Amino acid sequence: MTTHGGFEPVFCTIVPPHVLDKLAQHEDPALAGPARETLQRDAYERTHRRLTTVLGAPTLAAPTETDKPRRTIYDAKHKQDLPGKKVRAEGSDPGKDATVNRAYAGLGATFELYLNAFNRHSIDGEGLPLNASVHYDVNYDNAFWNGEQMVFGDGDGELFLDFTIPVDVIGHELTHGVTQYTANLTYFGQSGALNESISDVFGSLIKQYSLGQTAAEADWLIGAGLLAPRVTGVALRSMKAPGTAYDDDALGKDPQPATMDGFIKTGRDNGGVHLNSGIPNHAFYLVADALGGHAWEKAGQIWYDVLTGGELKKDALFTDFATLTVAAAKTRFGDGGEELQAVQKAWEQVGVPTS
């Protein structure tokens, strides 16, 4: 028995899954590698299709494009059943639970950036209700987007604190939803690292927007305030200086590369999606830093145009994405402008070709 679920038999591929299963276990990595990758993609596709079906219904039932978020926070009460008990609805007053209030505010901050900076109405662009569950599981050191909602753990208190503390973490998770509804980048390898990077980029922009910061004032950290006091580190990732966020006895050292010279080839972490995201993260920082001012106005706009423009393929490589940002900079801000120059220079600096 496996956890494939009931939809497995109707899924069509050219190579039957059992052959891929067999190949994936082959001694020769040349055979096993691609088979494993295909199986992973297939599983992703199945999940996505199922989710699209599930997610389609509420949008059809209530096609509202309002300028107000529709937030609901649930308390998982330290269990794994989602979403859990409804504890705060849109418009209601803050309660006693700071975690619930932070999640509610973070969802609002995310909604505000997308609406005010990019005229996007919620995650799907059509006013999708925003749902989040807090207090997931016990001592849970993580936060994730499950295709329909955000899920936040409380952290173990030793290494990680509450995952609702950094607003960029909340923005990061919701942006996975935006990506799912737009370019839908496959969560594996380089396209997966781009998916991760986009969540970091917009997560950081949400923090900067809510604080009214310029690129020079921003900390460009992801997860500042999340590490427990005993941990030696400032955050989980740094877009300004990838690889420098933490260096700790228990956590190890921040492994992120800033340029292609340090690109990590691995099968773990969906092909290093949280590792190699340092490269496009740093490119974004370089563009924002070169242009100055509010990062969401120019650098953020270029990245948003690429994410939502319809030309970014699901299996895009770094170079595909970089090339599209060059085109977007030209279209949005004109040929020969400082924006175009900043984009070209940034990708060159991190070692990603733009043609």
Partner 1 sequence: MRIQVRRTGGFGGIERRGEVDTSARPDAHEWHALAERVVADGRRTPKSGVPDGFHYEITVDGKTVYTADPSLTEEQRTLIQRVLKEGA
Residues with a known catalytic role: 173, 274
Q: CB of 237 within 8 A of CB of 248?
A: no
Q: Does 86 bind partner 1 (CB under 8 A)?
A: no
Phi, psi of 112 (to 5 degrees): -60, -50
Q: CB of 295 within 8 A of CB of 217?
A: no
Q: Does 1 bind partner 1 (CB under 8 A)?
A: yes
Only one of the segments 7-15, 262-270, 290-298, 299-307 lies at the binding site for partner 1 (rule: CB under 8 A); that segment is 262-270
Minimum CB separation from partner 1 for residue 102, in Å? 16
Residue with smaller CB distance to partner 1, 226 or 342: 226
Q: Does 232 bind partner 1 (CB under 8 A)?
A: no
Q: Does 44 bind partner 1 (CB under 8 A)?
A: yes
Q: Does 282 bind partner 1 (CB under 8 A)?
A: no
Q: Does 308 bind partner 1 (CB under 8 A)?
A: no
Of 75, 154, 162, 173, the residue at the interface with partner 1 (CB under 8 A) is 173
Only one of the segments 16-24, 56-64, 67-75, 114-122 lies at the binding site for partner 1 (rule: CB under 8 A); that segment is 16-24
Q: Count CA atoms within 13 Å of residue 174 on its CB side.
A: 36
Residue with smaller CB distance to partner 1, 90 or 315: 315
Torsion of CA 78, 80, 84, 89, to 10 degrees: 80
Q: CB of 172 within 8 A of CB of 113?
A: no
Of 228, 251, 317, 327, the residue at the interface with partner 1 (CB under 8 A) is 251
Q: Does 36 bind partner 1 (CB under 8 A)?
A: yes
Q: Does 31 bind partner 1 (CB under 8 A)?
A: no
Phi, psi of 321 (to 5 degrees): -65, -45
The amino acid present at 225, given as its one-letter code, is G
Of 74, 111, 114, 145, the residue at the interface with partner 1 (CB under 8 A) is 145
SS3 letters across 187-238: CCHHHHHHHHHHHHHHHHHHHHHHHCCCCCCCCCEECCCCECCCCCECCCEE
Residue with smaller CB distance to partner 1, 39 or 234: 39
Q: Peptide bond before 9: cis, by omega within 30 degrees of 0? A: no
Q: Does 178 bind partner 1 (CB under 8 A)?
A: no
Ranges of beta strands (E only) in 90-209 are 130-136, 143-145, 150-153
Q: Does 2 bind partner 1 (CB under 8 A)?
A: yes
Quote the CA–CA distance of 12 and 8 in Å, as a whole number: 9
Question: Which residues make Cβ contacts (< 8 Å) with residue 140, sequence separation at least 6?
Answer: 153, 154, 155, 156
Residue with smaller CB distance to partner 1, 184 or 344: 184
Nearest to 8 by CA among 149, 18, 53: 18
Minimum CB separation from partner 1 for residue 12, in Å? 18
Quote the CA–CA distance of 303 and 54 in Å, as a whole number: 28
Q: Which helix H or strand E contains 137, and what residues bound it?
A: none
Only one of the segments 102-110, 121-129, 266-274, 281-289 lies at the binding site for partner 1 (rule: CB under 8 A); that segment is 266-274
Residue with smaller CB distance to partner 1, 82 or 260: 82
The amino acid present at 230, given as its one-letter code, is R
Q: Does 236 bind partner 1 (CB under 8 A)?
A: yes
Q: Does 21 bind partner 1 (CB under 8 A)?
A: yes
Q: Is 73 helix (H, G, I), strand (E, B) or coil?
A: strand
Only one of the segments 38-46, 85-93, 208-216, 305-313 lies at the binding site for partner 1 (rule: CB under 8 A); that segment is 38-46
Q: Is 74 helix (H, G, I), strand (E, B) or coil?
A: strand
DSSP secondary structure code for residue 151 in this structure: E
Q: Does 225 bind partner 1 (CB under 8 A)?
A: no
Residue with smaller CB distance to partner 1, 130 or 343: 130
Quote the CA–CA distance of 17 and 39 in Å, as a whole number: 7
Positions that interact with partner 1 (CB under 8 A): 1-4, 20-21, 24-25, 36, 39-41, 43-44, 47, 80, 82, 141-147, 151, 160, 163, 169, 172-173, 176, 187-188, 195-196, 199, 223, 236, 251-252, 255, 267-270, 272-275
